[in-house]
Structure 1
Amino acid sequence: MTSSGGVGPDIGGRALSVIVAGGGTAGHIEPAMAVADALRRLDPTIRITALGTERGLETTLVPERGYPLELIPPVPLPRKPTADLLRLPGRVRAAVARTRAVIDAVEADVIVGFGGYVALPAYLAAGRGLRRRRSVPVVVHEANVKAGIANKVGARRAARVLAAVANSGVRAAGRSDAEVVGIPVRESITTLDRAGLRAEAREHFGLPADGPVLLVFGGSQGARTLNEAVSAAAPQLLAAGISVLHAHGPKNTLQLAAPAPGDAAKYVAVPYVSRMDLAYAAADATVCRSGAMTVAEVSAVGLPAFYVPLPHGNGEQELNARPIVAQGGGTIVADAELTAKYVLDEVIPLLTDPERLSRMSAAAAGAGHRDAADAVARIVVEVAGR
């Protein structure tokens, strides 16, 4: 049975109720919101409830997207033996109890989780309870090559397990049946017409209408290595006719030399870019980190990239970029190797070679997954109505 005017199943005469669990960082929240949007496109009557905590970015990002947010106690997972580890069982119990209350209140039919400390209580609370004779089916999506603890736990009991790339770490939970769907990305990115928006985008940022543009960004807080290497090469970039749009982070500043007389190119430095769709449209290539969401968006819009993985952590950022690089859509640059000299030797030659830029753009777009959010939404509806 379907709900009136839509494709989602009508559960006992009411609209389908979906909980999306992905909070803390934009890497967890953005895919959750992209799937929420896709579910609404699939059937406007579907009820979406987002789970989050008062500590995460979801307190801002979720309401901005128009979805109700239910807060649960945060359950940070200590990576080292500390006093916090002793408090963990109590925190988990409190978070699970609160999540069960939310599940019952919204009469959830399915939960889709994206990892992180918000998803773990959702996975654990999905089982049978005092007020529920049946468990709520779970769909797990893993964005990274190496799965986190929450998704490893969730994958063991999930109805469907989805992954951004082949050989995802969710296999470590014994789920060799993980389906590769890519990373859900918001519609404003997946439908972006870079060529059609180019003039508007460049005017928006005060960039020249003609000539190549390099986009530089290192996440919401910026990245010192990217900032120092590219800004140090500013005179040579401008002399080569390459303009730069550089999001350096709200707490950082750039030391830029005054432009030489006669330079037609511009170096536009901003603390933060709120319209990434326009930033992508204005650019011909990018120097960026390689977090899962960054790689997904940059490849989805077909932007050639120099990916600079974080030099610490478990190495997942380099793994995120490898599939795009293997298809010819980008280059991986070690953090220590990104210097002003590298910009002169590698970045400038690419930006001044239109044919090579075109080939890399096509390769990047071909390696991305523009339909990931819609694919996940369809699977969520299937699981709810099975």
Structure 2
Amino acid sequence: MPEALHQAPAAGALKRAPGTPRVLFACGGTGGHVYPAIAIADAIRARIPQAAIAFAGTKDRMEWEAVPKAGYAIHPITVSGFQRGLSPEALARNAAFPFKLAKGLWESLRLIGNFDPDVVVGTGGYASGPVGLAASLRGKKMVIQEQNAYAGATNKLLAPRADHVFLAFDAARAFFPEDTPATVAGNPVRQDLTEASATEAREHFGIPEGARVLLAMGGSLGAGPINGALKVHLKEVLASGETFVIWAAGKRYYQTLNAAVPAHERLKLVPYLDRMDLAYEAADLVLCRSGAITCSELAVTGTPSVLVPSPNVTADHQTKNARALADAGAAILLPEADLDARFDDDVIALLDAPDLLDQMRRKALAIARPDAADEIARAVIALAPPPGASGA
């Protein structure tokens, strides 16, 4: 990976090319914040290849690797979240919080001055806070993108300073002031998700012709309760002779499950999925968590789902995401506490109901926003000075 993509800019090193929009993205912490930013950046570059695009993030979170892999420079910002609780570790971290906040704001002001963006785009995560505040203090245009039905703290704080807020779910409007210029555009997702071939998908996973496919997944690390329920009910799932299971157990659980679960000709047990486009194309039904990006991918690909929200997230926002799809008829919301008791009725029975699956598929596509990245990209470009203008 080129080291230049990880370097902070020196003063005066980033020169402005006349008529070239300059966009700085601030995001971090999780893929739910980072990948939408990358999708918007890709859409901007598709429209204006010469656009100058850079990212701000932290060295110890996943954006430090994901952003350069996508071909964009990332500049380090010091950030620290406020720790809940009274443990010695939490108290020690909170004691350092004001100093890290001040340092992060100073670094952000320096980055804004050196890169001189026309527009700053914040997609949430701790890094968005100081960078968004610095952009506002320096009079830069700012766009916020909120992925969840429950708005995150950083985006709520920055929204009054933003020129526009883009929402993935209409339910998120309630968390912003009524006069906030907001548009429901959906979550930016990878465009290749809708371009997969059914034939390639079945060949990739070794799925027999005519088989119904259950895709079970819980993120890159895995979801213990989903894995546990599927392990208990796997014999029943495979009993019909027509069901094929793609089980992405997660890196944390794969070795244990691979040793404990008997091999089966209609079971593909893997640690993670490196071809999500083929996985969605192959699946008749998905059993998974309800993170914001997952919900948007399910809608864009028209994939029926049984959603098991994680109870261990801020403000129970995964339940709110799942409810948005369930209320539209595109998914079934299955609380984790009921996962075992309702597995037969909500998962196995649904696999045997092709008409209902077709109905859910249509309703998922009806609420999909496949052009979200391009819509947001066009708005960002519109905020930048037009060609021939002197710029900020």
Structure with greater contact order relative to length (CA < 8 Å, sep ≥ 6): 2
Shift of 1:86: 3.0
The one-letter code of the counterpart of 2:336 is D
Residue in structure 1 matched with residue 184 of structure 2 by the alignment: 180
Shift of 1:379: 1.0
2:166 paired with 1:162: yes
Residue in structure 2 matched with residue 50 of structure 1 by the alignment: 55
Q: Whole-Å Cα distance in 1 between the matches of residues 81 and 245 of structure 2? A: 38
Relative distance call for 1:12 and 1:234 in structure 2 (3 A) is closer
Q: Whole-Å Cα distance in 2 between the matches of residues 226 and 103 of structure 1? A: 44
CA RMSD of aligned residues (A): 1.9
1:107 to 106, 116, 121: 116
SS of 1:338 mapped into structure 2: helix
Shift of 1:45: 1.2
SS of 1:309 mapped into structure 2: coil
Q: Whole-Å Cα distance in 1 between the matches of residues 180 and 107 of structure 2? A: 32
2:84 to 79, 95, 99: 79
CA contact (8 A) 1:20 1:49 kept: yes
- Normalising by structure 2, we get a TM-score of 0.87
Structure 1 stretches lacking a partner, 5+ long:
1-10, 130-134, 260-264
Shift of 1:169: 5.7
2:220 paired with 1:220: yes
Corresponding pairs, count: 361
2:72 paired with 1:67: yes
2:100 paired with 1:91: yes
Map 1:193-272; keep pairs closer than 5 Å.
193=196, 197-240=197-240, 241-252=242-253, 253-254=256-257, 255-257=260-262, 259=264, 266-272=266-272
CA contact (8 A) 1:238 1:266 kept: yes
Residue in structure 1 matched with residue 390 of structure 2 by the alignment: none
2:37 paired with 1:28: no
The one-letter code of the counterpart of 2:155 is N
CA contact (8 A) 2:216 2:287 kept: yes
Runs of 4+ in 1 over 6 A off after TM superposition: none
1:136 to 131, 134, 140: 140
Relative distance call for 1:147 and 1:169 in structure 2 (3 A) is farther
Q: Whole-Å Cα distance in 2 between the matches of residues 317 and 117 of structure 1? A: 19
Q: In proportion to residue count, which structure has more helix? A: 2
Q: Whole-Å Cα distance in 1 between the matches of residues 181 and 116 of structure 2? A: 29
Residue in structure 1 matched with residue 12 of structure 2 by the alignment: none
Pick which of 204-213 and 358-367 moved more.
204-213
CA contact (8 A) 1:329 1:364 kept: yes
Q: Whole-Å Cα distance in 1 between the matches of residues 99 and 226 of structure 2? A: 42
Shift of 1:89: 2.0
Q: Whole-Å Cα distance in 2 between the matches of residues 57 and 148 of structure 1? A: 19
Q: Whole-Å Cα distance in 2 between the matches of residues 208 and 175 of structure 1? A: 54
CA contact (8 A) 2:163 2:181 kept: no
CA contact (8 A) 2:136 2:142 kept: no
Q: Whole-Å Cα distance in 1 between the matches of residues 179 and 336 of structure 2? A: 33
- Normalising by structure 1, we get a TM-score of 0.88
2:201 paired with 1:192: no
Deviations 1:301-339 (A, max 9, x none): 000000000123311101112222112111000101111
SS of 1:380 mapped into structure 2: helix
Structure 2 stretches lacking a partner, 5+ long:
1-15, 387-392
CA contact (8 A) 2:216 2:288 kept: yes
Q: Whole-Å Cα distance in 1 between the matches of residues 145 and 346 of structure 2? A: 36
CA contact (8 A) 2:167 2:182 kept: yes
2:275 paired with 1:275: yes
CA contact (8 A) 1:171 1:178 kept: no
CA contact (8 A) 2:55 2:74 kept: yes
